[in-house]
């Protein structure tokens, strides 16, 4: 069930309407502390959805919300769950997003 929910939710993280994307990221930020390590089955799907476009967004609201979600993931999930998806994304990013993820990994 969790996989089905987040499969639908990840589309909101890529929505063409920036307000929808921002609200989805803000909702994700609230969900992470509640769900914690139960997000393990969907983390490989969520990290790219959170990072792609959002962490390099020129929209300050989306960038801040994406940064907050990454911070929440780092605070509330076992770091071993995050290592592989964050490393994978950091390899293929550029600009501020690459710098932000590299700092989180360090």
CA 75 from centre of chain: 13
Quote the pLDDT of residue 19.
Answer: 97
d(Cα 94, Cα 80) in Å, to the nearest integer? 24
Domain parsing of the chain, residue ranges: 1-103
Report residue 7 as tokens: 């499969």
Does the model's pTM come out above 0.75?
Answer: yes
Mean pLDDT in order along the chain per 10 residues (106 residues)? 93 96 98 96 95 94 97 95 94 92 90
d(Cα 93, Cα 96) in Å, to the nearest integer? 9
Instruction: Give yes or no for a contact between 6 and 45, defined as CB atoms under 8 angstroms apart.
Output: yes
Give the closest residue to 35 by CA, choosing from 61, 57, 2, 9. Answer: 2
């Amino acid at each position: 069930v969790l996989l089905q929910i987040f499969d639908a939710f990840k589309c909101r993280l890529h929505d063409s309407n920036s307000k929808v994307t921002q609200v989805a990221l803000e909702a994700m930020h609230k969900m992470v502390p509640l769900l914690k390590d139960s997000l393990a089955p969907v983390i490989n799907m969520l990290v790219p959805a959170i990072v792609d476009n959002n962490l390099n967004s020129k929209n300050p609201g989306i960038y801040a919300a994406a940064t907050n979600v990454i911070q929440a993931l780092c605070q509330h999930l076992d770091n071993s769950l995050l290592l592989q998806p964050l490393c994978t994304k950091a390899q293929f990013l550029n600009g501020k997003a690459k710098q932000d993820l590299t700092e989180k990994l360090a």
